[in-house]
């Protein structure tokens, strides 16, 4: 059942269309991410859902409550939406104690002292901040400050948690840890999440479904697995996970890698839907390529130009004509050395028009 619903939501800033006819629905308790490069309209969308930004067109609903609709001249202010918000910047007040930072939205709502204390302490316990409650948040690390912001959003017992790149100011190790903390809090409190990020691995780790956005326009909405396995287009393929693209010419249905004179695998057949395209792009993921023998008819030939140990995996750069491929194998797999000729086989290639 849909809980939060965006219907034809559009936002224009002068000539810029920041968000273009956006539609999606989120279930109760779902973790939904909006993923896309900087400037694609994620923050603007979140601010419209929160009520900090007017819509140019469209409607925002929660359950059967209309929150925003310029056409119907309807607007519910943020404080009546019961949404928790956490931003990228640590929006905590250094002159207030950690406790008072968390209690602040409850005081604004004029709850009685007993309830304020109960909810504040609950939120502090859930975020492991009880021992820090009397000090200033200034004494906390970045992760600690962001926990204060989370606790403050939790204290109002939100129906929906709106998170705008909440972990991007933290170091990578802490970022990973905090993902799981957010997920645990969601399990405990049951709120829905709209999570905005430009970090695909973060979106993959947290989300039930991901929306991929480019220049204000939705590219795909699906589960992390489906987005990874069945990307809707070249942009989604390149934005999720690591990607390789080899430029090729379509010669009567057989693809010929540009500037590559060696043996071409028999399996380089251009799919039917690209029959009309002369310039095609052969896409693969570094983890979905295997080394094979030079005699394998399915192998594409090249030379290893770089080999880097990344701990658990080994990252190869392979030159194919004047183009390069990245190949990643486990560190226990034997692999060629720099300067060696080699052949690779593609486990699950994708094809796109070169200028899609």
Show the tokens assigned to 270: 């251009």
For residue 210, state whether it binds ligand ADP (rule: CB under 6 A): no
> Measured from the CB of residue 14, what is the shortest distance to ligand ADP in angstroms?
7
Classify residue 44 as exposed, middle or buried by CB count within 10 Å of its CB (0-12, 13-18, 19+): buried
Does the protein bind Mg ion through residue 43 (CB under 5 A)? yes
Task: Tell me which of 2, 13, 269, 306 binds ligand ADP, using CB under 6 A.
Answer: 13
* Given 44, 220, 244, 328, the residue binding ligand ADP (CB under 6 A): 44
Residue 36 or 143: the one with the smaller Cβ distance to Mg ion is 36
Stretch that binds Mg ion, among 42-50, 60-68, 210-218, 264-272 (CB under 5 A): 42-50
What would the x/- binding string for Mg ion be over residues 82 to 121, using CB under 5 A?
----------------------------------------
Q: Of these, 38, 131, 252, 355, which contacts ligand ADP (CB under 6 A)?
A: 38
**Of 13 and 180, CB closest to ligand ADP:** 13
Cα dist. 218→148, 163, 206, 233 in Å? 33, 19, 20, 11
Q: Which does 41 bind (CB under 5 to 8 A by kind): Mg ion, ligand ADP, none?
A: ligand ADP
Q: CB of 148: closest distance to ligand ADP in angstroms?
A: 23
Footprint of ligand ADP on this chain (CB under 6 A)?
A: 13, 16, 18, 36, 38-44
Footprint of Mg ion on this chain (CB under 5 A)?
A: 43
């Amino acid at each position: 059942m849909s809980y939060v619903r965006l219907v034809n939501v559009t936002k224009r800033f002068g000539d810029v269309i920041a968000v273009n006819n956006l539609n999606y629905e989120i279930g109760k308790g779902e973790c939904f991410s909006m993923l896309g490069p900087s400037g694609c309209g994620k923050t603007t969308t979140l601010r419209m859902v929160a009520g900090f930004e007017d819509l140019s067109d469209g409607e925002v609903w929660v359950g059967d409550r209309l929150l925003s609709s310029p056409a119907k001249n309807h607007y519910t202010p943020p404080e009546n939406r019961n949404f928790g918000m956490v931003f990228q910047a640590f929006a905590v007040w250094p002159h207030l104690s950690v406790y008072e930072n968390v209690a602040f939205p409850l005081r604004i709502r004029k709850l009685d002292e007993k309830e304020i204390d109960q909810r504040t302490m609950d939120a502090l316990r859930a975020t492991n901040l009880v021992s820090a409650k009397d000090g200033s948040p200034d004494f906390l690390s970045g992760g600690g400050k962001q926990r204060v912001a989370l606790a403050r959003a939790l204290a109002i017992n939100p129906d929906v948690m709106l998170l705008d790149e909440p972990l991007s100011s933290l170091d990578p190790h802490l970022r990973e840890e905090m993902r799981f903390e957010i997920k645990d809090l969601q399990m405990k409190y049951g709120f829905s999440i709209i999570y905005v990020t430009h970090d695909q691995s973060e979106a993959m780790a947290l989300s039930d479904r991901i929306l991929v956005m480019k220049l204000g326009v939705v590219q795909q909405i699906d589960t992390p697995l489906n987005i990874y396995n069945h990307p809707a287009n070249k942009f989604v393929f390149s934005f999720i996970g690591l990607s390789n693209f080899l430029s090729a010419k379509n010669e009567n249905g057989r693809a010929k890698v540009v500037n590559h004179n060696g043996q071409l695998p028999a399996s380089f057949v251009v799919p039917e839907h690209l029959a009309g395209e002369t310039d095609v792009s052969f896409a693969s993921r570094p983890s979905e390529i295997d080394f094979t023998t030079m005699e394998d008819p399915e192998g594409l030939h090249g030379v290893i130009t770089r080999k880097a140990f990344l701990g658990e995996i080994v990252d190869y750069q392979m030159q194919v004509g004047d183009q390069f491929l990245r190949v990643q194998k486990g560190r226990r797999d034997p692999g060629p050395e720099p300067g060696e000729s080699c052949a690779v086989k593609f486990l699950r290639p994708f094809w796109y028009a070169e200028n899609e």
